[in-house]
Amino acid sequence: MCFHNSMSAKAQKLAARYNLKTDIVEIYKEILEENYHINAFTHPLYPIVTGDSELQAFHWGLVPFWVKSEEQAKDIENMTINAKADTIFDKPSFRHSIMSKRCIVPSTGFFEWRHEGKDKVPYFIQVINEEIFSMAGIFDVWNNPKTGEIYHSYSIITSEANSLMEYIHNTKKRMPVILSSEDEKRWTDPNLNKEGIKDLLKPFDADKMNAYIINKDFLRKNSKDKSIIEAA
């Protein structure tokens, strides 16, 4: 699974990485700062790349367009942080978005735990030679019937684990779908058909990834503390 992400690149650098406008920087001050640890269960605003010419900011935890109330939205957003590639075309929460609302979730690394008996060992995982890499995501737009607010939210797609992630995430053996730089534009292409989408939902090459053990207390640190991602 992928419930803990890292975004230590400022919005301006992100915009440059994806060749996007930075007008959003003036609107969403909260995504300007480096955040070495981002917890999905707080449903934070996070920088997202869609087919739009500007960098976007969506909440982590997808709220489908058909949700009827704030109460239902709160219930569902904790269950839609990730979307399994295996069932994404069938689940009511995801089947609309996977066909028409695909996005890129930029990352500078993510966190996962290896279970060793009763112990849990935290790892920080990155893509080699990619300061900012791309996870495959989907998004949706919900209109809050009570307030009229338009709420944008997203989910990170997961696949079965490659050999590296199978070793680390040795319980559920999952990992986020990571896109190669060559596949980024293809992923957000609105004309991509179902077979083309399925072709991209595969485990990333383990040889192109790096992982190392970090300190167990990282969850208690301020998200802007760089020591979060230091090796133990």
For the chain (length 232 residues), average pLDDT per consecutive 10? 64 83 58 81 92 88 97 96 98 97 96 95 97 97 96 98 97 96 95 97 98 95 93 95
Backbone angles phi, psi at 156, to 5 degrees: -95, 130
pLDDT digits (tens, 9 = 90+) for 152-195: 999 999 999 999 999 999 999 999 999 999 999 999 999 999 99
pLDDT digits (tens, 9 = 90+) for 12-34: 788 889 988 766 555 555 565 77
Comparing CA positions, the residue from 202, 190, 201, 199 lying closest to residue 99 is 190
Predicted local distance difference test score (pLDDT) of residue 11: 72
Contact yes or no for 47/7 (Cβ under 8 A): yes
Comparing CA positions, the residue from 99, 161, 100, 101 lying closest to residue 125 is 161
Contact yes or no for 137/157 (Cβ under 8 A): yes
Comparing CA positions, the residue from 187, 217, 198 lying closest to residue 105 is 187
CATH number at residue 75: 3.90.1680.10
Own/partner contacts of 129-133, CB < 8 Å, gap of 24 or more, are 130/181, 131/9, 132/9, 132/13, 132/14, 132/17, 132/106, 132/107, 132/108, 133/106, 133/107, 133/108, 133/178, 133/179
Q: Count of domains in the chain?
A: 1
Alpha carbon distances (Å) from 145 to 25, 31, 142 = 28, 27, 9
Predicted local distance difference test score (pLDDT) of residue 8: 61
Backbone angles phi, psi at 225, to 5 degrees: -85, 115
Instruction: Please state the separation of Cα 56 from the chain's center in Å.
Output: 13
Alpha carbon distances (Å) from 169 to 61, 131, 163, 175, 229 = 21, 23, 10, 8, 18
Contact yes or no for 141/40 (Cβ under 8 A): no
> Exposed/middle/buried for 133, CB within 10 Å: 0-12, 13-18, 19+?
buried
Structural domain span for residue 69: 4-229
Predicted local distance difference test score (pLDDT) of residue 120: 95
Dihedral over Cα of 144, 106, 206, 164: its sign: negative
Contact yes or no for 30/41 (Cβ under 8 A): no
Predicted local distance difference test score (pLDDT) of residue 194: 97
Alpha carbon distances (Å) from 123 to 50, 127, 159 = 29, 13, 18
